[in-house]
């Protein structure tokens, strides 16, 4: 399941597909099948669909749609009787809807609920102009046309469909930020998405909060029972994001069933919060925002405004091999620099809390090799002392590129029966001792709290009633916490006794979790909610950013050319309304299709004392001189997307080679080289750079002898020798020989002078 953020999770659960068993095939599906159909109205979102080969085949359920017992999608309508709108809601399938005349939700009605005048209604794929008495149903809501993701875009009705599609898809790629913030301009669906995604913690009882800590909430219910909620702390999602829940209630708060009591990832006060409200200016800045590039202020970096936490999980297995069992150990050979091993314990496993860098060893592992090459002396030494004689191969788990951070968890799994009895007993005693200390600390803390309350009572700071209530609360809390500790202790002991169900041949498995804090950097992708995406080209000091007449520097500078051809004018309306909302310190809710109009935005700007066109004269931070033209400025909700430079940047000096061709491997994961294909050869040929081309195709790739000779020449400070024959040529000869062709290389004999 996709878990980049709560919206990603809930939209994945609501996805519809026309492919799969018994469905369509991607190659054979034509435009007719993929296109929006009138029967999609209120059932399938016309906007949210992928951009690639799956466009129109993979779709999303509309907001109010439901699936009936026959697997058909239904959408709700309000019944209209004799031109009067009733409160009766009926769900209709696409077939049932065909025979009725249905009016839009925003028709004009009189005080009796009767539809006034003529209305443009829908009947099948026709749009007749009808009187109120001829209407059978009316839409339940103006928003029922769109899906969840599109429903979160304010002023969606002012955006071109292509950009709205990108906007709804990119919201699912937003990375949960360290400091969350709800949008200044929202659509009203934010709380519903957060609640239904399961990201937040919802109380299922009425009662009073007995205790609220960073990882536990205990509620005393109205019938005297206790309800315990365990919060998730820095757990990893499927997309390596950090799931961290934070309590929203405090001790003594009254909660009702259905109240949100804790925030989850990418939520703020129970609302989904995928980005940040930033001060944006639409202007060019020294060409740095050419081609959708974005200029940002260093403030976003210094104040951790666009910083996110990622949790990576790495695992390693020790297996039984035909040469003996692989071993997890600290002693992995003299070739590894000692600083790479500085975080390992005596068993060769990294300590929790270690700050690790790329290429540091997390778990040491050696693999036994075949002893074919052993001399009789080495074999004798091994027999006498059981000593490894440097024949073991190092296959340790190292920190991959882009995953440096702090080790937050280490789990060691051993097969049942493989752990010695002595070791098992030792672990059992450790668990018992840990929980004994926790119980003792809990009792001491409670006794200390009681003594403080008694002191306050003696000093007449609190009444007898308050004293009794506090003592009762502490007794209740102690009882609940002891029960929780007891349950956790039993579970840990059961897990220890049971052992782990490891795959066949696996003796031991170690999982390491690393928490990495990623600040915003050049090359990261940012986007708004209207398909307005771009890559950061430069991070400017705050003092160099253009600033408002009151001295406030802007956070983001976006090219004005990114708006006209894309026709996503919703971003400009959001920008202006956002500025007014910031000034008035309010949140504006503007639902899709029935939201704020241009007049409403102008009114809000006037109320906030801002220019009605949202344009001001900005001053250049470097020179202090005003810019020639007025600039559109305001607050826009900006998200950091999961396409980060850290995951894509890659360089190689030397590294692994392919066994067959002896060329460097390809791709970042294999620590590979840059691919130099046929077309790249033409490009270099076009410049006539023959020596460069010769290097690329020989010593920098698969001329094994040449590589060695060049290395030796560099070490000795001698001229670089001429390249030899590349390995790929030898492979070609061997292939031809395998086909039965006698291909030989005949050296040309030098003619005798």
Q: pLDDT over 90 for what percent of the chain?
A: 69
| Residue 253, CA distances (Å) to 47, 209, 261 in order | 42, 5, 10
413 pLDDT above the threshold of 80:
yes
Query: H or E segment at 235?
Result: strand 235-236
User: 388-392, 661-665, 703-707 — which is least confidently predicted?
Assistant: 388-392
Distance, CA of 59 to CA of 328 (rounded, Å): 47
The residue with greater pLDDT, 374 or 303, is 303
Residue 448: its H or E element: helix 421-458
Residue 751 is predicted with a pLDDT of: 60
Strands 260-263 and 137-139, bridge-based pairing: unpaired
Using DSSP, state whether 558 is helix, strand or coil.
Answer: strand
Q: Rounded to two decimals, what is the model's pTM?
A: 0.87
Confidence grade of residue 65 (pLDDT, cut at 50, 70, 90): very high
Fold for 650-738, please state it.
DCoH-like (3.90.1800)
Query: Are the folds of 201-263 and 314-405 the same?
Result: yes
What is the distance, to the nearest Å, from the Cα of residue 599 to the centroid of all Cα atoms in its chain?
38
What is the C-alpha separation between 80 and 116, in angstroms, rounded? 13
Say whether pLDDT at 203 is over 90: yes
Q: pLDDT at position 494, please? A: 80
Please write the tens of the pLDDT for every residue from 274-299.
Answer: 999 999 999 999 999 999 999 999 99
Straight-line distance from the first to the last Cα atom of the chain, in angstroms, rounded to the nearest whole number: 77
Residue 267 pLDDT exceeds 60: yes
**% the chain with pLDDT above 70:** 97
In contact, 374 and 391? CB cutoff 8 Å: yes
Q: Which residue has the tokens 């007749």?
A: 128
What pLDDT was estimated at residue 418? 60
pLDDT score of 611: 95
- Give backbone dihedrals phi and psi of 744, rounded to 5 degrees, phi first: -130, 150
pLDDT digits (tens, 9 = 90+) for 19-29: 989 999 999 99
53 CB burial (10 A radius; 0-12, 13-18, 19+): exposed
Residue 478: its pLDDT value, please? 83
Task: Determine what percent of the chain falls in helix, strand and coil, rounding each to the nearest 5.
Answer: 30, 25, 45
201-263 CATH pick, 3.30.70.1890, 2.40.50.100, 3.40.50.880, 3.30.428.10: 2.40.50.100
H-helix or E-strand spanning residue 419: none
Confirm or reject CATH 2.40.50.150 for domain 314-405, answering yes or no.
yes
Q: What is the DSSP string of 581-640?
A: HHHHT--EE--TTSS--HHHHHHHHHHTT--TT-EE--B-TTT-PBPSS-EEEEEEEEEE
State how far the Cα of 579 lies from the Cα of 609, in Å rounded to an integer: 11
**Structural tokens at position 125:** 């794929």
- pLDDT (tens digit per residue) in 308-360: 999 999 999 999 888 788 889 888 877 888 888 899 998 899 999 999 998 89
Is the model's pLDDT at 32 over the cut of 60? yes
List, as own/partner pairs, every contact residues 15-24 make where C-beta atoms lie below 8 angstroms and the sequence separation is at least 24, other chains included: 15/58, 15/59, 15/60, 15/61, 16/44, 16/58, 16/59, 16/60, 16/61, 17/57, 17/58, 17/59, 18/56, 18/57, 18/58, 18/59, 19/54, 19/57, 19/58, 24/57
CB 51 within 8 A of CB 172: no
User: Per-domain residue ranges for the chain?
Assistant: 6-149, 201-263, 314-405, 421-498, 650-738
- Print burial letters for 539-556: b (CB count within 10 Å at least 16), e (below 16): bbeeebbbbbeeeebbbb
pLDDT for residue 372: 60
For residue 463, is pLDDT > 90?
Answer: no
Lowest-confidence range among 1-10, 284-293, 412-421, 622-631? 412-421
Beta bridge partner(s), residue 517: 309
Q: Tally DSSP H helices, then E strands, for the chain.
A: 17, 39
- What's the CATH class of domain 6-149? mainly beta
- Average of per-residue pLDDT across 398-403: 89
Q: When comparing pLDDT for 56 and 428, which is higher?
A: 56
| Residue 129 pLDDT grade (very low, low, confident, very high; cuts 50, 70, 90) | very high
Give the 3-state DSSP-derived string for 152-184, with helices as H, strands as E and coil as C. CCCCHHHECHHHHHHHHHHHCCECCECCCCCCC
CB 88 within 8 A of CB 76: no
Distance CA 353, CA 407 (A): 5
Residue 752 pLDDT > 70: no
| Closest alpha carbon to 573 in 527, 530, 610 | 530
Q: Residue 6's Cα: distance from chain center in Å?
A: 10
Average pLDDT in the chain: 91
Query: Encoding tokens for residue 623?
Result: 């020179």
Alpha-carbon span 105 to 95, nearest angstrom:
21
Residue 386 has pLDDT above 80, yes or no: no
| Phi, psi for residue 709 in degrees, rounded to 5 | -65, -40
pLDDT of residue 420: 64
Whether residue 495 has pLDDT greater than 80:
no
Mean per-residue pLDDT, 625-629:
95
Q: Residue 469: which pLDDT band, with cuts at 50, 70 and 90?
A: confident
């Amino acid at each position: 399941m996709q878990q980049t953020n709560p919206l990603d999770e809930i939209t994945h659960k609501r996805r519809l597909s026309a492919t799969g068993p018994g469905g369509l095939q991607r190659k054979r599906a034509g435009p007719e099948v993929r296109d929006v159909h009138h029967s999609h109205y209120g059932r399938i979102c016309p906007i949210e669909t992928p951009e690639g080969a799956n466009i129109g085949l993979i779709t999303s359920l509309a907001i109010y749609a439901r699936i009936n017992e026959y697997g058909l999608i239904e959408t709700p309508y309000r019944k209209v009787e004799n031109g009067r709108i009733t409160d009766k809601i009926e769900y209709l399938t696409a077939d049932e809807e065909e025979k009725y005349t249905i009016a839009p939700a925003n028709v004009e009605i009189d005080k009796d609920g009767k539809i006034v005048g003529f209305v443009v209604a829908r009947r099948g794929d026709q749009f007749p102009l009808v009187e109120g008495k001829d209407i059978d149903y009316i839409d339940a809501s103006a928003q029922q046309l769109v899906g969840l993701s599109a429903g979160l875009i304010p002023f969606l009705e002012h955006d071109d469909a292509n950009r709205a599609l990108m906007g709804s898809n990119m919201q699912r790629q937003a990375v949960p930020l360290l400091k969350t913030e709800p949008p200044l301009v929202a659509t009203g669906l934010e709380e519903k998405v957060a609640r239904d995604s399961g990201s937040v913690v919802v109380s299922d009882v009425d009662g009073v909060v007995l205790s609220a800590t960073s990882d536990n909430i205990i509620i005393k219910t109205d019938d005297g029972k206790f309800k315990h909620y365990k919060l998730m702390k820095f757990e990893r999602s499927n997309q390596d994001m950090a799931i961290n829940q934070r309590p929203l209630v405090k001790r003594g708060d009254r909660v009702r069933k259905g109240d949100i009591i804790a925030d989850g990832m990418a939520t703020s006060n129970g609302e989904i919060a995928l980005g940040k409200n930033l001060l944006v200016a639409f202007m060019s800045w020294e060409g740095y925002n050419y081609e959708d590039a974005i200029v940002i202020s260093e403030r976003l970096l210094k104040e951790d405004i666009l910083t996110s936490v990622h949790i990576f999980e790495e695992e390693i297995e020790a297996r039984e091999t035909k040469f003996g069992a692989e071993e997890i150990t600290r002693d992995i050979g003299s070739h590894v620099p000692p600083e790479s091993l500085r975080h390992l314990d005596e068993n060769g496993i990294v300590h929790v809390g270690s700050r690790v860098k790329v290429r540091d060893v997390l778990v040491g592992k050696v693999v036994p090799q075949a002893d074919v090459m052993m001399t009789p002396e080495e074999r004798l030494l091994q027999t006498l002392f059981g000593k490894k004689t440097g024949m073991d191969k190092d296959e340790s788990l190292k920190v991959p590129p882009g995953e440096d951070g702090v080790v937050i968890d280490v789990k060691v799994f051993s097969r049942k029966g493989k752990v010695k009895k002595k070791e098992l007993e030792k672990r059992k005693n450790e668990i018992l001792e840990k929980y004994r200390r926790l119980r003792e600390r809990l009792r001491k803390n409670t006794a200390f709290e009681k003594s403080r309350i008694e002191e306050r009572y003696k000093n007449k700071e609190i009444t007898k009633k308050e004293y009794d209530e506090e003592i009762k609360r502490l007794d209740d809390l102690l009882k609940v916490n002891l029960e929780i500790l007891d349950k956790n202790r039993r579970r840990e002991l059961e897990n220890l006794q049971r052992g782990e169900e490891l795959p066949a041949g696996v003796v031991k498995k170690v999982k390491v979790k690393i928490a990495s804090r990623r600040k915003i950097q050049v090359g990261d992708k940012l986007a708004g909610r209207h398909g307005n995406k771009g890559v950061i080209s430069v991070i400017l000091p705050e003092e160099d950013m253009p600033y408002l007449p009151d001295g406030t520097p802007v956070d983001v500078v976006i090219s004005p050319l990114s708006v006209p051809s894309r026709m996503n004018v919703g971003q400009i309306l959001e920008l202006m309304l956002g500025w007014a909302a910031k000034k008035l310190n309010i949140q504006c809710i503007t639902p899709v299709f029935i939201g704020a109009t241009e007049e409403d935005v102008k009114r809000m700007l006037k109320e906030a004392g801002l220019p009605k066109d949202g344009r001001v004269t900005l001053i250049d931070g470097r020179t202090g001189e005003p810019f020639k033209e007025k600039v559109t400025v305001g607050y826009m909700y900006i998200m950091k997307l999961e396409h980060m430079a850290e995951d894509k940047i890659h360089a190689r000096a030397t590294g692994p080679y392919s066994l067959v061709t002896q060329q460097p491997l390809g791709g970042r994961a294999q620590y590979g080289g840059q691919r130099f294909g046929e077309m790249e050869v033409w490009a270099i040929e076009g410049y006539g750079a023959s020596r460069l081309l010769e290097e690329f195709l020989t010593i920098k790739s698969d001329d094994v002898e040449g590589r060695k000779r060049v290395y030796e020449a560099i070490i000795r400070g001698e001229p670089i020798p001429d390249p030899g024959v590349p390995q790929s040529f030898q492979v070609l000869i061997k292939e031809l020989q395998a086909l039965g062709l006698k291909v030989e290389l005949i050296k040309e004999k030098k003619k005798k002078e």
